[in-house]
Amino acid sequence: MFRRTAGVLAVAVALVGLHAPAASADVVVADVVVAARTLTYNASGAAEFKAAVDAGAAVWNSSVVNVKLVSTTSSSANIRVVADNGWPRAQTTSLGNGTVWMGREATNEGYNPTRIAAHELGHILGQPDRKPGPCTSLMSGSSAGIACTNPNPNAREKSEVEAAFRTLKAAGVWQREFVE
């Protein structure tokens, strides 16, 4: 991740002529240096889905540079992840904050838990459902079918998350519940 961030920084510095420390993990946007926004998630209530949640967070961390998801056990985490017997869902309190429910109903039907986790975290990062949709779209969710195990956001989804977290202050405040 550091190499990728440093590479982006080096290219951006060359393009805009800014001078930044070589070891910086900041992202250069035009003439402004913006630190990647760190969001914490607490998956201690995710039960058997904790590894899938960690994998889903790792997918986003390797896909975007303007936001980073970091695991914590703190009760004041930005994102709380819990397991229940319902259908997976997410509810945001604001961009980058909210609750994810890793519902067993979908995994019992055969849906991939890492794809579910990455999809639900996508909602917390501001992504809407895009249904129906192909397996290449993470946010197509269950409409891509049980055989779809792709946990990766496509170029559009990555770009939208990058744009949402481009500034230090989260853009907009809204509350939305996403239910598959």
As a three-state string, the secondary structure of the chain is CHHHHHHHHHHHHHHHCCCCCCCCCCEEECCEEECCEEEEEEEEECHHHHHHHHHHHHHHHHHCCCEEEEECCCCCCCEEEEEECCCCEEEEEECCEEEEEEEHHHHHHCCCHHHHHHHHHHHHCCCCCCCCCCCCCHHHHHHHCCCCCCCCCCHHHHHHHHHHCCCCCCCCCCCEEEEC
105, 109, 120, 162: which one is catalytic? 120
Residue 116, token pair as written in the block? 């579910």
- Tell me the C-alpha distance between 47 and 96, whole Å: 22
Active site residue 109: no
- Tell me the C-alpha distance between 30 and 173, whole Å: 25
Residues annotated as catalytic are: 120
